[in-house]
Every structure is written in structure tokens, then in C-alpha cells.
Structure 1
Amino acid sequence: MGSKWTAADIPDQTGRTAVVTGANSGLGLVTAQELARAGAHVVVACRDLTKGSAAVSTIRSAVPDASLSLERLDLADLLSVREFAEVMAKEHDGLDLLINNAGIMAVPKGTTADGFESQFGTNHLGHFALTGRLAEMLSARPGSRVVTVSSGMHRIGRIRFDDLQSTRRYQNWLAYGQSKLANLLFAFELDRRAPFGSYASHPGYANTNLQNAVTQATGSKLVERAVSLFTRTFAQSMEMGALPSLYAATYPGLPGGSFIGPDNFFEQRGHPTIVRARKPAYNEADARRLWEVSEELTNVTFPFTGAENK
């Protein structure tokens, strides 16, 4: 494993189809662009088609021969997830890469179209349902992979099975931490069950639009300026932040269930490498329970059951 792996090291992706959620900005945009540069056909999946069109233009200006398509996907709406999967099944005979990248962070209390707490519903349940609905397409392609983007903030998360939707108590950062821990439990359980590879990644501390949205939501110009200064000083670029996802998606022979993050400064910056999540992320009983609850909440079941598929 090279310690200084970059996007230039991505193997040729010609003939492969990739879906990147939240590909209209930030890490998703960089991920989509670099996969397209490597030859993949990239489905730019995002909620706002106007922003998505701008992203497609941005990618094409950097990669003139990029093979791209734009599709609407709102992970906070299970009907939108189903419709997206139906379009994919009509237009493609298989899927090689699914990058579960989109997410919201530390937002005020709210609910999705289906009544779920917004962070748990968008970051975890939306991607769970999407992966389930695309699982047959992924199974149809040899060497296919799913990469689910988590965060170092999974370390403050706890899966509160008695209050998954934070109805009794809501704290925005703890709810975010729960959703990011759920991402890891799902990614590792998916790898145990699926006939394809499942991986998790985290970008470290990257300068993205998520950071800006959180600080602007405080309404404090002082906080906004302070965080902006800290981010400019210590955060790595979006290009570096996208490398763990790209590595997880394309590095040859990577063991299934690997968690990829930056190799430097307490995993906050650096080049991609295999890292270790906090212990609760590897709790298989919690992972099975979360899987079952997620199936019930989303009404999405996967076309496989367990390790016999490996």
C-alpha cells in the first residue's frame, strides 16, 4: 500500500459505471470528477438539478471527454430513492461503484419527508434504502464496490435504539455522530452479507461546504469568522478529503470491510490509508439490529441474507 497515493494512481475505470450521491459540490464533486477522469461513466446524483447541472459543467471543463449523466436523488425522501433506482435499472444493466457520499451535518432539529430525524434519515436510512434498491445491479457486476462515507465524528456517536429519531432529546452534534456511527455499522455489516465489496471512508478535516453551512447556521458572525480562520489554517483541501473515498472505491485488492482515512495528524489530514474505527462500530449484534430496524423503517430488503454470499 503506497503511503502517498493520489487521484493520479486511480486504475483505469473505462467501462465502469459509478453513482456518486451529493455529487453537486464538495467531496462528491471531486469524487465524481476524478472517477470520470479515470474513464468511468459517472451518474451525478443530487437533490437540486440546477446545482447538478452546474456540477456537470464544472466536471466537463476539467475533463472534456467525461462520460456523465445527471439524475435527481433526494435521500431525505424514500419515494425519490425508489424513483432513482427505477431510472438506474432502466438505463443501465449493472453498477460497478456506489459512493454513498451525500450528507447533512449538525443541522437544527427537523424531519425527512418520511418523518425520520433528518440526520439519521438522510445520512443513514436514505443510503441504506438506496444501496438495497441498487443491490441487484451491483451484484450483476464482478468487482463492484460500495463506499459509505462516515466521519471522525462517529467517535461521539451512540446508537440509541430506544430513541433513534431523537424524539425525546435532540442535540445536533450527537445526532450527527449517531448517523455517522450508523454509516460504519451498515458498511461493515453490508460487507459481511453482500456478494460485493463494502467499504467505509472518512475525509478527515476537509474544507467543504458542510463546514460553512454549520457555522452559518449559528447566526454568529464571530463564530463564523473564527471557524473560517481555523478551517483555512488547518483543514486539508477538498481534493485531499476525497482521496479516502476514491482509494476505497478503486484500490486493487483492498480487503472488504476496510475503513479508509487520512494517514496524518490524528487522521485529520494526509494521504489515504486503512484506519481503525472506534470499537462500537465493530459491534456485530448492534449492526444486525440496526440492519433489521432499517429494513422495517424503509421497507427495503436486500436480495441476500448473509455470509453465504461471500
Structure 2
Amino acid sequence: MPAMDGRTVVVTGATSGVGAATATAFSHAGAHVVLAVRDTQRGQNAACAMGGSTEVRELDLADLSSIRSFAQSWNDRLDILINNAGVAGHRGAQTKDGFDLQFGTNHLGHFALTNLLLPHVTDRVVTVASGAHKAGEIHFDDLTLNKRRYGFAEAYGQSKLANLLFVLELQRRLRGADSSVRSLASHPGYSATSLGTQGQHKALVAAANLAGRLFAQTSEHGALPTLFAATHDLPGASYIGPDGRGELRGSPTLVGRSAKASDLTTSRRLWEVSERLTGVSFGFDTD
């Protein structure tokens, strides 16, 4: 990590897991870190544990009104935005605006937040995706997944594929606006976190925790690709993940993405649909 003194970083979902590890690393490097979290008490506890220059602000990515309030209250320079927060495994759950909870939080929430904050961003936006994007499909006829039953992998995969398509189209638009801001992506590999275990059967949670202890890397190691993407001189739209076999663990490096995640036609279409669903457009005026 280079010295981050004088820089401001926003990390969504920074109360635990990879998000907390990411925020902690930035804080220890000298940055002023804003923990953008739904539960501010948990945020305060996390901030106290990490030390350094920290601040906690309320943000519910499953509520567009909360996202707008967060962005409207922002009056300062923002060097780096880390779109880290994510949910998984909530079958049938919806956001306050009626979207599938995974697609609405993981993609639409960060889509709206990024564009509303973009006029303040000076350096880059890093969006945390997942190797699960390879199993995803963008169901344009049923983005909210309300028309039929769906499996965990299908819903989570769609949201993570949407993350990568968003990164791609955001970078294209930033380039078109002659902006020096860069859009990048990262993924943590297989990290020992509580993602996907909330509300699940006790046996499933126990099995997931055992697998995590045996095979997963720590949250601190899982944060390395995000930290690398946020601090190294990389081309826009770069995707950083672990260098180990299967990209499950290891040191951060440039990794590939699926052909679906590289489709410019799909990325533009998803952007246009996301604008209609959120009522939020590209953060820079290109007229």
C-alpha cells in the first residue's frame, strides 16, 4: 500500500468481512475512510476497531431514497469510491423499491450511488465483482426475477455479471467525457466471510463455516485485489483477482472475465435499463 495521507475513500459495506479489511487497510495507510453502512452502530464499532481517521455515514443500498440522501449530503472531494457491499442468497426478498434484493443492492444500488457521487470523484471507482459472474445471465425480460423461481447461483450470478458490465460501460462513458477518473473491478476469490449465510439453515451455515476454515483465505487477503485496483496505475476497466488456481486465493493480479462480461452491446443496454429503473443518469454532463 502506498501512503494515502490526505486522501478520502468511501467503502460501502465496511462493517465486516472484506469490506472491513479494505477500510482498515486504507485507514492504516493514512486515508480518511468513510464507512458507508446500513447499520451505523455496527459501523461505529468497526471504525473504533480499525482506528485512524474514520467516519460513519448511513447508507442503505436497497433503498434509492437512502442513496440519494447520502449523495446529497456529500460536499467534499472524494478520491476513491469502493463499491464493496453485497448480499447473497435471499430468495424472493426485495429492495424497498421492489427489485430483487441481490440485483437491486449489488448492481442498481451501486449504479445509482456511483453516478450521484461521480462529480466529486477525483481518482477512481472500484466495484467488487465475483467469479460467480461466469454463471450469470442478464434476464432483461425479468431483471427483478419476479416472474419465476430462481436459484441462488442464478440470482447472485446475474448481479455480479451486472457489476462487470457496469464497470465496462462506466469506463467507456468516462473516456467519452474526457475524464481522468477510472472505473475498475476486483474480486476477492474465496474468502472466509458471512456472505450468503444470513437466514440460512444452521447445518448449511456450519458447513459453509467449516469449508471456509479449511479452504478459504482470510478477509485481509480477500481485500488485496480491491486495494491493488484502488492504488496501482492500471488501465480503466481492469479486473483484479487472486493469482492462484481457479482464482480462489493468492496475490492480486490482472484476471480475465467471461465473454458475456465483455459484451459492449449488453453493457450499454444494461446501463440504459438501469437508468430507467433508478431514475439516475451518468454523473457527468456530456452536453
Q: Do the two structures share a fold, i.e. TM-score over 0.5?
A: yes
Alignment match, 2:153? 173
Query: Is it true that 1:109 corresponds to 2:95 in the alignment?
Result: no
Work out the percentage of aligned pairs sharing the same amino acid. 52
Question: How do 1:253-292 and structure 2 match up within 5 A?
Answer: 253-292=233-272
Whether the 8 Å CA contact 1:193–1:305 is kept in 2: the answer is: no
Letter in 1 for 2:187: H
Shift of residue 220 of structure 1?
A: 4.5
Whether the 8 Å CA contact 2:89–2:197 is kept in 1: the answer is: no
Question: How do 1:84-233 and structure 2 match up within 5 A?
Answer: 84-89=70-75, 92=76, 94-138=77-121, 141=122, 144-169=123-148, 170-194=150-174, 195=179, 196-213=181-198, 217=200, 219-221=201-203, 223-233=204-214
Other structure's SS at 1:44 match: strand
Question: How do 1:15-34 and structure 2 match up within 5 A?
Answer: 15-34=6-25
Query: Structure 1, residues 79-131: CA drift from partner, whole Å, max 9, x if none?
Result: 00011011212xx1x11100000000122211101111111000000000000
CA distance in 2, matches of 1:280, 1:70: 36
Other structure's SS at 2:11 match: strand
Other structure's SS at 1:210 match: coil
Query: Structure 1, residues 219-243: CA drift from partner, whole Å, max 9, x if none?
Result: 142x333332221111000000000
Whether the 8 Å CA contact 1:27–1:208 is kept in 2: the answer is: yes
Shift of residue 256 of structure 1?
A: 1.1
Other structure's SS at 2:247 match: coil
CA distance in 2, matches of 1:83, 1:121: 17
Query: Structure 1, residues 51-105: CA drift from partner, whole Å, max 9, x if none?
Result: 1111011111xxxxx111110000000000011011212xx1x111000000001
Alignment match, 2:50? 59
Shift of residue 305 of structure 1?
A: 7.1
Number of residue-to-residue matches in the alignment: 281
Whether the 8 Å CA contact 2:82–2:126 is kept in 1: the answer is: yes
Letter in 2 for 1:111: Q
Alignment match, 1:49? 40
Shift of residue 192 of structure 1?
A: 1.2
Query: Structure 1, residues 126-173: CA drift from partner, whole Å, max 9, x if none?
Result: 0000001001001xx2xx110000011111100011111111223222
CA distance in 2, matches of 1:273, 1:127: 24
Letter in 2 for 1:47: R
Provide structure 1 residue ranges, at least 5 long, that are not aligned to the other structure.
Answer: 1-9, 61-65
Other structure's SS at 1:260 match: strand
Whether the 8 Å CA contact 2:37–2:58 is kept in 1: the answer is: yes
Query: Structure 1, residues 200-253: CA drift from partner, whole Å, max 9, x if none?
Result: 00000000121543xx51x142x33333222111100000000000000001x2
CA distance in 2, matches of 1:303, 1:104: 25
CA distance in 2, matches of 1:110, 1:100: 21
Q: Between 164-173 and 282-291, report the one with greater CA deviation.
A: 164-173
**Cα RMSD after superposing both structures:** 1.4
Shift of residue 255 of structure 1?
A: 1.2
Letter in 2 for 1:129: A
Whether the 8 Å CA contact 2:119–2:284 is kept in 1: the answer is: no
